[in-house]
A = this chain, B = another copy of it.
């Protein structure tokens, strides 16, 4: 598989836009308090120059540095004091237009860069800059991408081609490296992990002289855009590359080896932020192997990284993946909480626990992980999956921001007044600063980066949301569509009409009411109702001829008790349980009547017919855009819709047939079931 030779610039394509009086600002660009030699400032100036030229045909005139800036018309890039009037904080910025003078104020270079991108965003959206007055501070200290790229160039759960970081067990550095960094910075991403959390073979050697030089070079490019560089670590490095016979976190030799290794890493990769670790999970080694706790493992690494300001991000995806389907007591949903809650408070300050949004694994619908906010004395990072592993493989359109919003807005009841997930991971709840959001991201070396052009809305949206969690799913589309597809109002309306409800649609034609998992094993695309039912993964629906669902109430696995009240009681009762999660928490008869007045079985039939019809509607709406959007974009998305419709039809028919055959209860409307 070769590298794709040319690629798009997505929302940074800087194509000609309506001027709207915006060009005039660029005649004088002054800098005040920043050094034009500083790499991030340089990047900001370059974007400003390229963006103005491309979008407005305006040539930036750099007037100079210093005092005159304050008096000039044009653009002033201004460093603010920490305690500034506008309330701008670290990495934040103020954008303010007055009397032809447009100020981008920030306390640091990153804030300046983000402010410049905001300015360019407005131009790209064809908004007038006149009268703009906006202060933006990032809600989350850490806003990260996690790439599951392997060094052979493959991407675990990648649906957009091969890796642009690795090929043939080597590191790739080319123009795309910089374009990637620009795209990230433009949406506020300030950290990235470039290699798969399952660290194997050559990737174990990324922290050795075999790769230091290249890795440092890549990290340096990221630094120019304010992005910290992270690597996934092989927990068993002491054995696999260190020549020791142990990875016991309390073994002095292991500790000494890591101290030395961390010193080497942070010295040789100046822009290194730290490491991401998946331990004791799905066959990966970890501290459990040595009878130690997860905290033992994480703290040992964190202590070694501390002198260099490094952080250790420790994934909480630890569960028994050798479960017996005959066992109704063991509950995979419980595992994360059970494995991590006891050590709350034991983790050192530069450890962050990275917690998936749900207790299972990125299904189209799950409850919120009870670890989020359940942990009260531990740094937490929310992990979501933008790569559409279970949500359509970037074939089916599935705008995920509404789901992420639900997660962020969820009240955990961990602390009065600051109890949402957004509060917890922003640091507002506990006053901590090593917190944030990470996304398993959906990029690859496809020319359009994300396979389906529309999937770029998730890439863009995650970054924007991580920066500003109060943005709505619709507001994000109001930015992304005009920047990426078209500023034509009709087109914006149509694309929004497809994207905004698309997650609900995908949910309708796949697994019902929170049960999840009815996917083709391993592949995770396409329907297989019993695919995981008799397997070892702890992912069961327990459907029989009378009903379906997993009893996780007090009478069942007791999972509900991992939540604070009133959530625990709400989930525990069939009456008060949110219906979209009904089958996650309860085993329910097909004849159970839902709040809509429909029986459960009829809901299954109806929602699957509806889901398919909605997908058909989107495909048709897209057809109507022919000639109104870029030809290539049109063709790419159209081809994906063809495949989505086949997939949606298969899901509809298999799920309906499965439950009809099992229950014997016919569809009230007499539609075709096989």
Q: Mark A526-557, 1 if CB is under 8 A from B, else 0.
A: 01111000100000000111100000000000
User: A292 an interface residue at 8 Å Cβ cutoff?
Assistant: no
A650 / chain B contacts, CB cutoff of 8 Å? 534
By beta carbon, the residue of chain B nearest A660 is B544
- When the two chains form their complex, are residues B664 and A545 in contact, meaning their CB atoms are under 8 A apart? yes
User: A224 an interface residue at 8 Å Cβ cutoff?
Assistant: no
What separation, in Å, do the CA atoms of A664 and B663 have in the docked complex? Answer: 10
Quote the shortest CB–CB distance from A650 to chain B (angstroms): 7
Q: Give the one of A326, A527, A534, A546 with max B CB within 10 A.
A: A534
Quote the shortest CB–CB distance from A622 to chain B (angstroms): 26
User: 8 Å CB contacts to B: which residues of A621-674?
Assistant: 650, 653-654, 657-658, 660-664, 674
User: A325 an interface residue at 8 Å Cβ cutoff?
Assistant: yes
What separation, in Å, do the CA atoms of A529 and B662 have in the docked complex? Answer: 13
Quote the shortest CB–CB distance from A600 to chain B (angstroms): 16
Copies of this chain, count: 2
- When the two chains form their complex, are residues B545 and A661 in contact, meaning their CB atoms are under 8 A apart? yes
Please judge, given known A-B contacts A661-B662, A662-B662, A674-B325, whether A654 and B543 are in contact too, CB under 8 Å.
no
Quote the shortest CB–CB distance from A136 to chain B (angstroms): 50
By beta carbon, the residue of chain B nearest A653 is B326
What separation, in Å, do the CA atoms of A325 and B545 have in the docked complex? Answer: 22
Quote the shortest CB–CB distance from A34 to chain B (angstroms): 60
What separation, in Å, do the CA atoms of A534 and B326 have in the docked complex? Answer: 24
- When the two chains form their complex, are residues A654 and B534 in contact, meaning their CB atoms are under 8 A apart? yes
Range for the number of chain A residues in contact with chain B: 20 to 34
Please judge, given known A-B contacts A530-B528, A534-B650, A654-B534, whether A544 and B662 are in contact too, CB under 8 Å.
yes
What separation, in Å, do the CA atoms of A328 and B674 have in the docked complex? Answer: 9
A534 / chain B contacts, CB cutoff of 8 Å? 527-528, 650, 654, 657
User: 8 Å CB contacts to B: which residues of A515-535?
Assistant: 527-530, 534
A657 / chain B contacts, CB cutoff of 8 Å? 326, 534
What separation, in Å, do the CA atoms of A674 and B325 have in the docked complex? Answer: 9
By beta carbon, the residue of chain B nearest A530 is B530
By beta carbon, the residue of chain B nearest A325 is B674
- When the two chains form their complex, are residues A544 and B326 in contact, meaning their CB atoms are under 8 A apart? no
A658 / chain B contacts, CB cutoff of 8 Å? 530
What separation, in Å, do the CA atoms of A14 and B528 have in the docked complex? Answer: 53
- When the two chains form their complex, are residues B546 and A664 in contact, meaning their CB atoms are under 8 A apart? yes
Please judge, given known A-B contacts A527-B534, A528-B530, A529-B530, whether A674 and B544 are in contact too, CB under 8 Å.
no
A543 / chain B contacts, CB cutoff of 8 Å? 661
- When the two chains form their complex, are residues B660 and A326 in contact, meaning their CB atoms are under 8 A apart? no
By beta carbon, the residue of chain B nearest A327 is B674
By beta carbon, the residue of chain B nearest A326 is B674
A664 / chain B contacts, CB cutoff of 8 Å? 544-546
Please judge, given known A-B contacts A325-B674, A653-B326, whether A663 and B530 are in contact too, CB under 8 Å.
no
Q: Mark A112-136, 1 if CB is under 8 A from B, else 0.
A: 0000000000000000000000000
By beta carbon, the residue of chain B nearest A526 is B534
- When the two chains form their complex, are residues A662 and B530 in contact, meaning their CB atoms are under 8 A apart? no
Please judge, given known A-B contacts A528-B530, A528-B534, whether A544 and B325 are in contact too, CB under 8 Å.
no
A653 / chain B contacts, CB cutoff of 8 Å? 326
What separation, in Å, do the CA atoms of A653 and B545 have in the docked complex? Answer: 17
What separation, in Å, do the CA atoms of A191 and B385 have in the docked complex? Answer: 57
By beta carbon, the residue of chain B nearest A545 is B664
What separation, in Å, do the CA atoms of A674 and B530 have in the docked complex? Answer: 15
- When the two chains form their complex, are residues B545 and A662 in contact, meaning their CB atoms are under 8 A apart? yes
User: 8 Å CB contacts to B: which residues of A322-348?
Assistant: 325-326, 328
- When the two chains form their complex, are residues A545 and B326 in contact, meaning their CB atoms are under 8 A apart? no
A662 / chain B contacts, CB cutoff of 8 Å? 544-545, 661-662
A674 / chain B contacts, CB cutoff of 8 Å? 325-326, 328
By beta carbon, the residue of chain B nearest A655 is B534
Quote the shortest CB–CB distance from A520 to chain B (angstroms): 9
A530 / chain B contacts, CB cutoff of 8 Å? 528-530, 658
What separation, in Å, do the CA atoms of A650 and B536 have in the docked complex? Answer: 11
By beta carbon, the residue of chain B nearest A650 is B534
Q: Mark A363-384, 1 if CB is under 8 A from B, else 0.
A: 0000000000000000000000
Quote the shortest CB–CB distance from A145 to chain B (angstroms): 34
What separation, in Å, do the CA atoms of A664 and B665 have in the docked complex? Answer: 14
What separation, in Å, do the CA atoms of A287 and B462 have in the docked complex? Answer: 53
By beta carbon, the residue of chain B nearest A673 is B326
- When the two chains form their complex, are residues A545 and B663 in contact, meaning their CB atoms are under 8 A apart? yes
User: 8 Å CB contacts to B: which residues of A172-200?
Assistant: none
What separation, in Å, do the CA atoms of A645 and B328 have in the docked complex? Answer: 22
Quote the shortest CB–CB distance from A128 to chain B (angstroms): 55
What separation, in Å, do the CA atoms of A588 and B3 have in the docked complex? Answer: 56
A326 / chain B contacts, CB cutoff of 8 Å? 653, 657, 674
Q: Give the one of A529, A545, A663 with max B CB within 10 A.
A: A545
What separation, in Å, do the CA atoms of A374 and B328 have in the docked complex? Answer: 52
A661 / chain B contacts, CB cutoff of 8 Å? 543-545, 662
What separation, in Å, do the CA atoms of A530 and B661 have in the docked complex? Answer: 12
What separation, in Å, do the CA atoms of A442 and B534 have in the docked complex? Answer: 29
By beta carbon, the residue of chain B nearest A534 is B654
What separation, in Å, do the CA atoms of A355 and B425 have in the docked complex? Answer: 66
What separation, in Å, do the CA atoms of A230 and B663 have in the docked complex? Answer: 54
What separation, in Å, do the CA atoms of A534 and B526 have in the docked complex? Answer: 11
By beta carbon, the residue of chain B nearest A661 is B544
- Given contact pairs A326-B653, A544-B662, enumerate 10 new A-B contacts (beta carbons under 8 Å): A325-B674, A326-B674, A328-B674, A527-B534, A528-B530, A530-B530, A545-B661, A545-B662, A545-B663, A661-B662
Question: Ordered nearest first, which 5 A-B pairs have the shortest CB separation?
Answer: A544-B661, A545-B664, A530-B530, A326-B674, A534-B654
12 cross-chain CB contacts under 8 A: A326-B657, A326-B674, A328-B674, A528-B530, A529-B530, A530-B530, A534-B650, A543-B661, A544-B662, A545-B545, A545-B663, A546-B664
